[in-house]
Amino acid sequence: MLINCVAYQDGKKLRDISIEEISDYVVKPDCFVWVALQDASSAELIQMQEEFGLHPLAVEDAQHGHQRPKIDEFGDSVFAVMQLIEQQGEELNVGEVDVFVGANYILSVRNRSQKNFLGVRDRCEHEPHLLKQGSGFVFYALMDAVVDRYFPVVDGLETELEKVEEKIFTKGSARSNIERLYLLKNKVMVVKHAVAPLLEAVGKLTSGRVPGVCANSREYFRDVYDHLNRINASIDTIRDTIGTAIQVNLSMVTIEESEVNKRLAAWAGIFAVATAFAGIWGMNFKVMPELQWDYGYPFALVVITVVCGVLYSRFKKAGWL
């Protein structure tokens, strides 16, 4: 679906144009065309390929979707894949934006995402002195918008982790904590898979040989690289903390099981003594003095009770009961 198709010249918007007019504007000096598509069909991508002369391998990747974040260079053009991560209730929705960048055009294709980039277009149009740099600056603006959307997601993960940490030492909550931590770990890995490859790719736009369409915006891509570095460091910290929290919870499970085992062992010891006395006095020997004693039965009960009471007191003092 076509969102918009606009021609710009010398940093200023000329007008909205139709797809058929694209070829007429891309040949004009100091002019570039910015097209935005959402959930584009194969037919639409093929039409854009004909209008802009897109590389077939890049178009093929955009058609298949679900690509790893990357930035590929095809001659004088650049093809970038970035993942869009959105919090939807308790789950993370992973979308994708494919960006084709040439000297006189930029095409963005957004898939599986409800958040648009209209704010990016407004920002660029309000900065004509920067938009004058051409499609390279628009590419930066789109990438910056994608990366900025990672920050609230990471903040949400940190908040969720803090809530779990508050319940780590709550008795009986170890199992539910571990389940929540593993779910949180899966979310962290989703963000990690979006950030880490993009960080590596953007690094190629900040130093060394930079693609021609991005050369004038190198310092802006360096800013994006710094943001990605911060996010990546935060993700690593969260992941390490989750690993520590899981180990603590497993230790708490072991401690709780040990407490139960000590209680069982203490009660087993108490009843073992009572059973021993009962077994001795319950033996069917003919000569047993206590059997002929009038106070033998009460005496046996008193002895068993006293001994069990002493054992109970000792186990209680030792913290086993």
pLDDT tens digits along 53-107: 899 999 999 998 888 999 999 988 999 999 999 888 788 899 999 999 998 999 9
Of the pLDDT bands very low, low, confident and very high (cuts 50, 70, 90), residue 226 is very high
Phi-psi region of 62 (alpha: psi -120 to 50; beta: other; left: phi over 0): alpha
Instruction: Tell me the Ramachandran region of residue 5: left when phi exceeds 0, alpha when psi lies from -120 to 50, beta otherwise.
Output: beta
Tell which residue, 69, 199, 220, has the closest CA to residue 140.
220
Per-residue tokens: 90: 């308790």
Average pLDDT over residues 161-183: 85
Of 34, 235, 13, the closest CA to residue 142 belongs to 34
Which residue, 203, 191, 202, 205, is CA-closest to 233? 191
Query: Residues of the chain with pLDDT > 90: what percent?
Result: 40
Tokens coding 37: 């598509």
**pLDDT (0 to 100) of residue 280:** 67
Domain 1-129 fold is Beta Polymerase; domain 2 (3.30.460)
* Chain centroid, CA 227 distance in Å: 17
The SS3 assignment for 55 reads coil
Query: Which residue ranges make up each domain of the chain?
Result: 1-129, 258-317
CB atoms within 10 A of CB 298: 10
Task: Give Cβ neighbours of residue 81 (< 8 Å, ≥ 6 apart).
Answer: 61, 67, 68, 69, 70, 71, 96, 97, 98, 99
1-129 and 258-317 have identical folds: no
Global model pTM greater than 0.75:
yes
Rounded to whole angstroms, the Cα distance separating 62 from 152 reads: 27
Helices (H) and strands (E) counted in the chain, each on its own, are 10, 7
Instruction: Provide the CATH number for the domain formed by 258-317 in this structure.
Output: 1.20.58.340
Residue 226, phi-psi category: left (phi > 0), alpha (psi -120 to 50), beta (remainder): alpha
Query: Which band of pLDDT confidence, cut at 50, 70 and 90, is reported for residue 170?
Result: confident
